[in-house]
Amino acid sequence: MCGIIGYIGPNPAYPVLINGLKRLEYRGYDSAGISILDGTPKVYKCMGKIQDLEDYVSGKDITGSVGIGHTRWATHGEPNDINAHPHTSRDGHFIIIHNGIIENWDLLKKELERNGYSFVSDTDTEVLANLIEHIYLSGDIKAEAAVRLALTKVVGTYGLVVICRNEPDQLIAARCSSPLVIGIGSSEYFIASDASPIAEYTKSVIYLNDNDVAIIKKDELILKTLQVDEPKITLQNLNIETGKYEKDGFDHYMLKEIFEQPRSIADTFRGRLVPDQSDIKLGGLHSVLTQIQNARRIIIVACGTSWHAALIGEYLIEDLCRIPVEVEYASEFRYRDPVLGPEDIVVAISQSGETADTLAAVRLAKEAGALVLGICNVTGSGLSRETHAGVYTHAGIEIGVASTKAFTAQITVLTMIALLLGNKRELITGDKYRSLIGEMHSIPSKIEVLLKQDAKIRSIAAGFKDVCSMLFIGRGYCFPVALEGALKLKEISYIHAEGYPAAEMKHGPIALIDNNMPVVVIGIRDKSYEKIVSNVQEIKARKGIVIAIVSEGDEQIASIADHVIEIPSTNIIFSSLLSVIPLQLLSYHIAVLRECNIDQPRNLAKSVTVE
């Protein structure tokens, strides 16, 4: 969480910092700050958005070609001006920005207090700034040595950048579990918590590994580890499209990203569904395909929306390949001592590729000897670097905190994997395989058709903007979609929402039904269709209000529901790619009508890089 940007070079640092913070604002947005060095360091920080920081800095001295910036998502200490980063050490020797959590901050703080330090903020970061300073002042050592020594005393996670007042020609950066990427320009360097703010300046980047420490000067980059050894470094070409960050006329990134789904799904299968529609090629899995094909079981780990995609993956792989699949919350999996071994295949799904729990689950699975695969949207992210093999989703950068196009891209990849494995295992043969591949090609145009119902969905949303709670139910492939619909609604509109398998209603939730309770029913025609018709009748018998997502031409549910949204006909295995679209739009419009902050909902951040 939190966004970090740093610059050192011949040019003014301020534009790089402020534009970088705007790119990073999706990671955290409760306060922000910068420090710029032009001989002496200046620090400007305040509570609020980047725009508030810009207003605050306006008219102040921003000269300098070395600087750091930070946008915060509070962990220690409430969002306010003082807790905003950068933090300055007591005697002003060090200025630091930090992403992560220093878990032993309390012990370190007490130790520093015994050495005469006092603290102005409630943050763990200020403790770190003072610890570095204390070590620096206690011996005749360089700033980078003080940083490295201080970090050996730290328990926790960090991605940090440090300025030392006495050594103003360098930035010192270090990483442990919180991503940092260095961009290499011509006599200039950039550093950031992800590549998005530096992609417009350079395509050459180095991703720091855990325990790396970088000493970054205008014309020199020295990489060490906490233990001094030189790490292996990899220069990568950034595969990020710049200029795709605008809203392109949409009111919000979320809406833009919902409408991008015909393209993002097509981009995800482009080159993988081979042109004559006879096969699927997933280059990233080629070397391990036989092992996956013969898997005893597959475990999928993920968080949030990616976990919902994982559930759909379970249904797809079990249906089409007959391989048992278990889906785990990464946060539970990593701590519950799961039974794992070299014969297991673990698939980690993450849009950002930087979710702390998902990365920890990957490491655990690797330690147990499992083959670990990744499904990820961000090139060069932790997940893509730490897994043995994997498949990128090509959804493009997702800025809205509420995940939309990444979800459907993940399902697209999972569907391709299931179809490919099903074919290799001779469970889907010849004509059937070709016809399913052909049908997959038609999904983007079916979504185009669905998106034309936006105005209708907006008018349905108007009737629900003041509700306190909403239920979402479905069966089979529609159940994970119900979970996702509920998550979308709660995270952006702050309306309480729950998703259930429809049959579970009778085991408790049906007690909630009265004439104030809207229930979104995802009732796509499949083998359990008649059952869900009964569920709708049960809700109506108790005066609940039903918004039904149904297959094109449906008459049974349509005749009893209060509101009906049709999705184009498709094979049930592709249905979640369609049925989730009206739910995304419904949540979006309800949240807009409630005047919520769509792209930056309260308390959330785009990538959860702390546990």
**Residue number, 196 or 551, with CB nearest to ligand M6R:** 196
Stretch that binds ligand M6R, among 114-122, 195-203, 304-312, 511-519 (CB under 6 A): 304-312
How does strand 563-567 pair with strand 212-217? unpaired
| In the complex, least distance from residue 330 CB atom to ligand M6R, rounded to whole angstroms | 8
**Residue number, 177 or 403, with CB nearest to ligand M6R:** 403
| In the complex, least distance from residue 458 CB atom to ligand M6R, rounded to whole angstroms | 20
Stretch that binds ligand M6R, among 179-187, 222-230, 321-329, 400-408 (CB under 6 A): 400-408
| In the complex, least distance from residue 374 CB atom to ligand M6R, rounded to whole angstroms | 11
Task: Say whether 606 is catalytic.
Answer: yes
Q: Figure out which of the listed residues 384, 579, 587, 607 binds ligand M6R, where binding follows CB under 6 A.
A: 607
Stretch that binds ligand M6R, among 15-23, 56-64, 67-75, 396-404 (CB under 6 A): 396-404
Q: State yes or no: residue 303 binds ligand M6R (CB under 6 A).
A: yes
**Among the listed residues 288, 412, 275, the one whose alpha carbon sits nearest the alpha carbon of residue 349:** 412
- From the list 2, 176, 376, 478, the catalytic residue is 2
378 DSSP 8-state letter: S
Q: How many CB atoms lie within 10 A of CB 548?
A: 23
> ∠ CA 34-38-42 to the nearest 5 degrees?
35
| In the complex, least distance from residue 378 CB atom to ligand M6R, rounded to whole angstroms | 8
| In the complex, least distance from residue 255 CB atom to ligand M6R, rounded to whole angstroms | 14
Q: State yes or no: residue 130 binds ligand M6R (CB under 6 A).
A: no
Q: State yes or no: residue 402 binds ligand M6R (CB under 6 A).
A: yes
| In the complex, least distance from residue 410 CB atom to ligand M6R, rounded to whole angstroms | 8
| In the complex, least distance from residue 28 CB atom to ligand M6R, rounded to whole angstroms | 13
- Helical H runs in 58-193? 105-114, 124-138, 143-152
How far is CA 324 from each of CA 299, 481, 531, rounded to the nearest angstrom?
9, 21, 25
The site map against ligand M6R for 339-378 (x = CB under 6 A) is -----------xxx--x--x--------------------
**Residue number, 135 or 383, with CB nearest to ligand M6R:** 383
Strand order in the sheet with 94-99: 87-88, 94-99, 158-164, 167-176, 212-217, 220-225
- Half-sphere exposure (CA, 13 Å, Cβ side) for 252? 22
**Residue number, 131 or 592, with CB nearest to ligand M6R:** 592
Q: State yes or no: residue 306 binds ligand M6R (CB under 6 A).
A: yes
**Among the listed residues 87, 69, 54, 79, the one whose alpha carbon sits nearest the alpha carbon of residue 4:** 69
**Residue number, 1 or 213, with CB nearest to ligand M6R:** 1
Distance CA 67, CA 85 (A): 13
| In the complex, least distance from residue 584 CB atom to ligand M6R, rounded to whole angstroms | 10
**Token reading at 467:** 């509700």
Stretch that binds ligand M6R, among 43-51, 163-171, 298-306, 469-477 (CB under 6 A): 298-306
| In the complex, least distance from residue 386 CB atom to ligand M6R, rounded to whole angstroms | 13
When computed from its CA atoms, the radius of gyration of the chain, rounded to whole angstroms, is 25
The site map against ligand M6R for 258-297 (x = CB under 6 A) is ----------------------------------------
Task: Say whether 2 is catalytic.
Answer: yes
**Residue number, 67 or 374, with CB nearest to ligand M6R:** 374
Distance CA 372, CA 302 (A): 13
Q: State yes or no: residue 491 binds ligand M6R (CB under 6 A).
A: yes
Longest dimension (CA), the chain: 82
**Residue number, 223 or 349, with CB nearest to ligand M6R:** 349
Would you mind telling me the total number of residues written for the chain in this entry?
611
**Residue number, 524 or 610, with CB nearest to ligand M6R:** 610
Beta strands in 1-86 (DSSP E): 3-8, 31-38, 40-47, 66-72
**Among the listed residues 22, 354, 75, the one whose alpha carbon sits nearest the alpha carbon of residue 207:** 354
Sequence-separated (6 or more) residues with CB below 8 Å from residue 249: none
Amino acid at site 567: I
Sequence-separated (6 or more) residues with CB below 8 Å from residue 457: 565, 582, 585, 586, 589
**Residue number, 144 or 257, with CB nearest to ligand M6R:** 257
Q: State yes or no: residue 608 binds ligand M6R (CB under 6 A).
A: yes
Q: Figure out which of the listed residues 71, 305, 493, 600 binds ligand M6R, where binding follows CB under 6 A.
A: 305
**Among the listed residues 38, 89, 33, the one whose alpha carbon sits nearest the alpha carbon of residue 61:** 38
Interaxial angle between packed helices 105-114 and 124-138, expressed in degrees from 0 to 180 and rounded to the nearest 10: 50
| In the complex, least distance from residue 257 CB atom to ligand M6R, rounded to whole angstroms | 11
Q: Figure out which of the listed residues 20, 28, 33, 304 binds ligand M6R, where binding follows CB under 6 A.
A: 304
**Residue number, 143 or 585, with CB nearest to ligand M6R:** 585
How many residues sit in the footprint of ligand M6R (CB under 6 A)?
17
- From the list 109, 203, 224, 606, the catalytic residue is 606
Is 337 exposed, middle or buried, given 0-12, 13-18 or 19+ CB atoms closer than 10 A?
Answer: exposed
Distance CA 105, CA 114 (A): 14
Q: State yes or no: residue 194 binds ligand M6R (CB under 6 A).
A: no
**Token reading at 42:** 């200046």
611 DSSP 8-state letter: -
Interaxial angle between packed helices 478-493 and 304-321, expressed in degrees from 0 to 180 and rounded to the nearest 10: 170
- Residue of closest CB approach to ligand M6R: 304
> ∠ CA 356-362-367 to the nearest 5 degrees?
125
Interface residue list for ligand M6R (CB under 6 A) = 303-306, 350-352, 355, 358, 401-403, 487, 491, 604, 607-608
Point out the residues that are catalytic.
2, 606
